[in-house]
Chains A and B, each alone.
Chain A
Amino acid sequence: MPKCTPLATKMLKLNNIEVTYLNVIRVLHGVSINVPEGTIVALLGANGAGKSTTLKAISGLLRLEEGEVTDGSIEWNGERIDKKSAEEIGKLGIVQALEGRHVFQHLTTEENLLVGAFNRHNRQEVRHDLEMVYTYFPRLKDLRHNIAGYLSGGEQQMLVIGRAMMATPKLMMLDEPSLGLAPLLVEEIYEIIKRFNTEQKTSVLLVEQNVRVALSIAHYGYVMENGRIVLDGTADFLKNNEDIKEFYMGLSALGSRKSYREVKHYKRRKRWL
């Protein structure tokens, strides 16, 4: 198996973290992830693998759901952040866009974006970044005075990402930006994420079930299953991995689409352990 080459300096580092909900339900069993500066890292896997939990552990939102990091550590530029509150973590420059388009429904598009910039006090800069977000998402500019609750699904997803951009984060964590969107729109949004990453040098930690599209922009990827990391490597390595191809992209070794008619149901899904 080709060993992955270490990328640039690590900015975010998860060391063997364990997460327990309600003191009894353990959902992560020793997850280690590195997010180097300026890269896009994808966290892939099926439903219930623990991807969103991992993001919430980083952003500190876990505590709202009676969850806790019970073992291991999370480091941000060498400083431990796993005991910090969501607010403190936000101020460090880590921002999470929640899964499922959490826009503020009764606020206008522009107001939604301004909420993202809550912790910034320089009005001039906020104005400037508002324009920046509008250059990434020109459609939002047209809709700036519309009530966010009435935007379409794709526009709401753009708004959620734009709101995260407004915090000028050092690390932007996106939870399933492709959820429920048409393929064309997914590609459009991913293009923009890619562009934002290269132009603004913001690291992105991406949770995604849509493996193909995630690996099209990511530099590095981790595959999660049952609360563990089962495979990791550069995007190219993962794209060419037989298991990934077969079980996450639905392609057989020949690269053609595979028929599942002949496969026993328990073999349809990869069991790693």
Chain B
Amino acid sequence: MTELMQYTITGLSLGMVYSLIALGFVLIWKSSGVANLAIGQLVLFSSWFTYGMLVQAGLPPWLGIPLVIIFALMLGWSVERLALRPLIGQPILSLIAVTLGLAYFIEGLVGIIWPKSLASLPPLFPQEPLRIGSAVIRQEFLWAAVISIVLFVLLSIFFKYHRMGIAMRATADDQKAVQACGIPVTRIFSQSWMFACVLAAVGGIRISSIGNISKAPLVEMGLKAFSVVILGGLDSFLGAIIAGPIIGLAETIGGGYLSKVAWEGVREVIPFLIIIIVMIFKPYGLFGEKRIERV
């Protein structure tokens, strides 16, 4: 029982981070139809940048974290401006290929700037473990979950009531009609990239403040976010929010119990197993919109 409780809380907390990162993916996909294959690398880059700010520059978190957010905004803006905008109007496959190139570019760049393979951030959340019933959980997990929930709420309000948020959803529906309304679509694209990068940065900070900063697990975050997106449906914000905790729980609960009977790394496989099963039975994901695509 105690074990289950622990697995549940870590799973939910982890899953919400997946959701955050996945939301960034869905945002870009919805507004511009581009599958951003570089999300894992964006997480990686912003994690290392956080390390640069908090450890190398020695800034306190209240100053360092906002700087990371500003960095993420600039990163998103420049990626859209330099890598994607010149290709507007080209086949969508070239745009996706560009994001793949971007992924390797960022990975290389990070390798050059931070040649270390492992680093850790100073703790950002209180460290004392929390007792809920008989279960002992690290407080950080709760804080991380709270931050994710706050961000979900802010994002929903933005998409529901803000002029720009409504326009972003409109762009997802009908790009041409948006342009006929005199709305600059390019601005919408660049904003969605900026948002996605901020979400990736928040996810990265959360993951690397609890674990370590190293390449493989952070890049893998991108893959996990993919599985969330595919489970929830590529074009559904709600799907991303719900599918994240599902994947997170499957990973911790399933992985936790299975690794006792099966081999050690089973936990890493479970999310991808889920994708395969979902793709067989629900090719559009749990909340995805059914669409007839002509290929």
Contact = CB atoms under 8 A, between A and B. Distances in A.
Given A107-B166, A111-B166, A95 B180 contact: yes
A163 B182 CA distance: 12
B178 interface: yes
Contact of B181 (A64, A95, A106, A111): A95
Chain A: interface size category: 20 to 34
Interface stretch (A82-90, A197-205, A218-226): A82-90
Contacts of B167: 115, 118
A137 interface: no
Interface in A78-129: 86-87, 89-91, 95-98, 102-107, 111-112, 114-116, 118-119
A107 B180 contact: no
A98 B177 contact: yes
Nearest to A126: B163
B179 to A, nearest CB: 5
A11 interface: no
Nearest to B166: A111
A197 to B, nearest CB: 20
Given A111-B166, A119-B182, A119-B183, 16 more contacts: A61-B176, A61-B180, A86-B182, A90-B181, A97-B180, A98-B180, A104-B173, A104-B178, A106-B172, A107-B166, A107-B170, A112-B170, A115-B166, A115-B167, A115-B170, A115-B183
Given A61-B179, A102-B177, A115-B178, A87 B170 contact: no
Contacts of B166: 107, 111, 114-115
Interface of B: 89, 163, 166-167, 169-170, 172-174, 176-184
A167 B170 contact: no
Contacts of B173: 104-107
23 contacts: A64-B176, A64-B179, A86-B179, A86-B182, A87-B179, A87-B182, A87-B183, A90-B182, A95-B180, A97-B180, A103-B174, A104-B170, A104-B174, A105-B173, A107-B166, A107-B169, A107-B173, A116-B181, A118-B167, A118-B182, A119-B183, A163-B181, A164-B181
A59 interface: yes
B32 to A, nearest CB: 14
Contact of A96 (B174, B180, B183): B180
A270 to B, nearest CB: 32
Contacts of A95: 180-182
Contacts of A102: 174, 176-177, 180
The 5 closest A-B pairs by CB, nearest first: A90-B182, A102-B177, A104-B173, A104-B170, A87-B184
Contacts of B89: 64
A104 B179 CA distance: 12
Nearest to B175: A64
Contacts of B170: 104, 107, 111-112, 115
Contacts of B177: 98, 102-104
B254 to A, nearest CB: 33
Contacts of A91: 182
Interface string A50-64: 000000000101001
Nearest to A148: B173
A122 B279 CA distance: 47
Contacts of B180: 59, 61, 86, 90, 95-98, 102
